[in-house]
Amino acid sequence: MVESGAPAGPVWLSRYPASVPPTLEIPAQLLPEVIEQAVHRWPDRTALVYYGAKWSYRRLWRESGAFASALARDGIRAGDRVAIYLPNCPAYPIALLGILRLGAIVVQVSPLYIGQDLSRMLLDSTPKAVVTLEILYPNLAKVRAEAPVPILYVARLRELYPLHARPFVNLVLRRRGLPTAFPRGDPSVRPWTWTVHYRGTIPEFHGDPATSVAVLQYTGGTTGIPKAAMLTHRNLHANLLQINSWNTRRKSGEEVLLASIPFFHIYALTVALFAGLADGATIVIQTRPDIPELLKLIDRYAPTQFPGVPALYAAFNNTPGIEDHPKIRAITFCVSGSAPLPLEVARRFQELTGGTLIEGYGLSETSPVTHVNPTEGEQKVGSIGIPVPNTDQRIVDPETGTRVLPVGEVGELDVRGPQVMLGYYHNEGETRAVLRDGWFRTGDLARLDADGFAFIVDRKKDTINVGGMKVYPREVEEVLFQHPAVADAAAIGVPDPIRGEAVKAFVVPKPGTHPTEEELIGFVRERIAHYKAPRTVEFRTSLPKTGVQKVLRRVLKEESLAASAASPDPAPTSPAR
């Protein structure tokens, strides 16, 4: 049985690369069945690389099966939830596949979460088990009285490294004040080494891919309290097929994919993990995107794909001596996601690597990818591209969401396709608010051109109202990024007694530069309408961001309002030194 179907004849199909079909057949398979096909096809190919340690596809399948049987031994059943509280490391994909093979549901938990963030997520998802590292165990121990979890599977980080490197791992952890010992005296704790060598049976799971939830993916929380999107096996399978069909340059069974972005985020989970494993790629895992370390991995493994986020590409571009690493020229294909890609960042990256860097778009609720710029033919500057196969789009009026707007008008972007979530976990009210007749309301303001390319204007909730005139933070930020002294920037709306709101910019200067507030305001005023220019500029050494480096404008607004309340007449800001 196969499923397919996208609306026939949308204008954007004429912009598809010749080898990309307008519709894809989506076999009714569970995700483990999809990966198992790759295991049978490339059993001895390296699936995972972690600082020299390697897992073949055969070993990955064997250890994930052992973990699934260990879960079953501990009473975990299909439909139960198991949280993964890990940074990028080999335990992540092993646990991920093991949980899914059992028919249980993966709960994605950021390893950055502690305290209330962590307990809130555990209380919401009520997992029967958590997979974690010894360095993160203390965080769980502190919240278990409030958010009890019956079983913990704990790996020691050193176990995941090659033998010769293990003593150095513990040395580094101790220097950082992190624990290195396995937690003793807790009867609920299971050692990772036991689980991946456990020999037991795996109960067969034969759920319907269209209704069986594979992952609870919490939204980034940039606009409020996170909600868990229920992503089915079919949602994720469809999206990995859509992604791989779009990458017309890929060679199945030959790609090397550098996974620097965190797997707990849906973008990395699908683009850097599921899509790669389904295609026989070697996944080079980096725990966190440190640029000097990243360059060493590039020098050693010559990755052909490097999915990332704008902040990562910008840091890459600005690294001194980057041209002295010739293997960056092995990079052929990159999709930037999670946040708007500044035009100058894309241009410079492609100049350095010779590879293609295209902007894509998606959300946690859409598994995530819905739009990508074509890899061949015209790529429109500033556009998120066109819908991937089997995906439809429309622009509706933001107020009611019922009136479809014509080409060129700004409204809310709606999307429809097999990658759209089942709904929010135990939150029917929020589900009804965003899912209507199969359409998902993204909450992003956008416009379409005559060729069907979508241009994100901004988040509906982030729009700034300056005297009745709408200002979209992204357009202000795009101009600020053009200034040679600006390393990072964000714009928000702040209360103004005359205009209602005014634009305020937050800027991180590049090292060794000292731009002034007047200079940057003038720079923007010369390039876009005066009412869109910042009235004030605050200089910082960094901006608050999510785990995938998306600027938290909400936090900036809260901090700005708090500072205004404490000091109604603040002194002029000055550049960070």
Over 80: is that where the pLDDT of 510 sits?
yes
Q: Which of 216, 209, 304 has its CA nearest to residue 256? A: 304
The Cα–Cα gap between 470 and 207 comes to 48
- Would you list the domain boundaries of the chain? 464-566
Residue 498 has a pLDDT of 66
Residue 573 has a pLDDT of 38
Percent of the chain predicted with pLDDT > 70: 94
CB 530 within 8 A of CB 523: no
> Per mean pLDDT, which range of 197-211, 266-280, 316-330, 562-576 is the poorest?
562-576
For residue range 450-486, list pLDDT tens digits in order: 999 999 887 667 778 776 566 778 889 988 999 999 9
Averaged pLDDT for residues 212-233: 81
Band the pLDDT of 80: cuts 50, 70, 90.
very high
Arithmetic mean of pLDDT over the chain: 90
Residue 45 tokens, joined = 């190919």
Over 50: is that where the pLDDT of 1 sits?
no
**What is the 3-state composition of the chain as percent helix, strand, coil, each rounded to the nearest 5?**
35, 25, 40
> Per mean pLDDT, which range of 322-326, 382-386, 407-411, 460-464 is the poorest?
460-464
Residue 96 has a pLDDT of 98
Any idea what DSSP says for residue 274? I
Any idea what DSSP says for residue 323? G
Residue 577 has a pLDDT of 29
464-566 CATH choice from 3.30.300.30, 3.40.1160.10, 3.40.50.300, 3.30.365.10: 3.30.300.30
Using DSSP bridges, classify how beta strands 282-285 and 46-50 pair: parallel, antiparallel or unpaired.
parallel
Band the pLDDT of 442: cuts 50, 70, 90.
very high
> Per mean pLDDT, which range of 94-103, 287-296, 385-394 is the poorest?
287-296
Over 50: is that where the pLDDT of 274 sits?
yes
Residue 65 has a pLDDT of 97
Over 90: is that where the pLDDT of 449 sits?
yes
Averaged pLDDT for residues 105-110: 95
**3-state helix/strand/coil string of 390-435:** CCEEEEECCCCCCCECCCCCCEEEEEECCCCCCEECCCHHHHHHHE
Band the pLDDT of 376: cuts 50, 70, 90.
confident
For residue range 397-414, list pLDDT tens digits in order: 988 888 999 999 999 999
Band the pLDDT of 287: cuts 50, 70, 90.
very high
Whole-Å CA distances, 430 to 105, 366, 423: 21, 15, 8
Residue 568 has a pLDDT of 52
> Per mean pLDDT, which range of 211-215, 220-224, 396-400 is the poorest?
220-224
Q: Which is higher by pLDDT, 52 or 4?
A: 52
Residue 570 has a pLDDT of 43
Residue 546 has a pLDDT of 73
The Cα–Cα gap between 28 and 193 comes to 34
Residue 140 has a pLDDT of 95
